[in-house]
Amino acid sequence: MDAVADRPLAELAFTVLDFETTGTVKGFCSLPWQLGAVFVRSGEVVLEEGGFDTLLRVPEEYPFSKRAPGTHASQRAAIAAAPAFAEVWPALHDRLSCTVPVAHNAATERTVLARMAPMTQYAYWVDTLKLSRKIYPSLPGFALETLVPALGLQPMLARLVPGRAPHDAFYDAVACALLLLHLITLPGWSGLTLNDYYAL
């Protein structure tokens, strides 16, 4: 581990991201159709800097799982005309490579990136699902749409992303960012470092 791993998480810069995907359909890979990402720095969610709020191209004939959440059914034409992942990737990689990537259930986002950009890896990730389970083990559920209201974060989220809802990638990225800031500034957890996080 390097010096970054010894610094408290509250002092680091993060890129919090969320993908919505087509889901699993027999014979087809799950593809991302929406990306949301926000920059977190100095204890604040910075919506106007380093963020992404974009659909990603999936051919109109490509199947979506019936279980895939989100508004893809009403946006198929826009998704088919959206930028390809490869067009968005350079800017996203630039942001991820100079910050610590964060996601809620980060295995999902890591799997998407491994499929779409297989030669790229990042030294550290923070998973707010893992942190939430460690800090609040008695909560009845750990989905973002459960945690955000349970921890009193819903009013701030509604102010930051009015008109959005769960399973919208940008909404979920901002929700995850607020959850991250809540968790890493709690009494007793504000000194948590990346080394400490990986040892949990």
Q: Which domains does the chain have, with CATH numbers?
A: 3-199 (3.30.420.10)
Percentage of the chain surpassing pLDDT 70? 99
pLDDT in tens, 59-114: 999 999 999 999 898 999 999 999 999 999 999 999 999 999 999 999 999 999 99
Please report, as a single letter, which amino acid is at residue 149: P
The strand pairing partners of 17, in sequence order, are 37
For 129-147, the pLDDT digits (tens) are 999 999 999 999 999 999 9
Residue 110 burial (10 A CB sphere; 0-12, 13-18, 19+):
middle
Do 8 and 193 meet the contact criterion of CB atoms below 8 Å apart?
A: yes
Which helix (DSSP H) or strand (DSSP E) does residue 102 occupy?
A: strand 100-103
pTM recorded for the entire structure: 0.95
pLDDT tops 60 at residue 1: no
State CA 148 to chain mean position distance.
14
List pLDDT tens digits, range 144-168: 999 999 999 999 999 999 999 999 9
Are the beta carbons of 122 and 96 closer than 8 angstroms? yes
Round to whole Å and give the CA distance between 126 and 34: 21
Torsion of CA 108, 112, 113, 116, to 10 degrees: 170
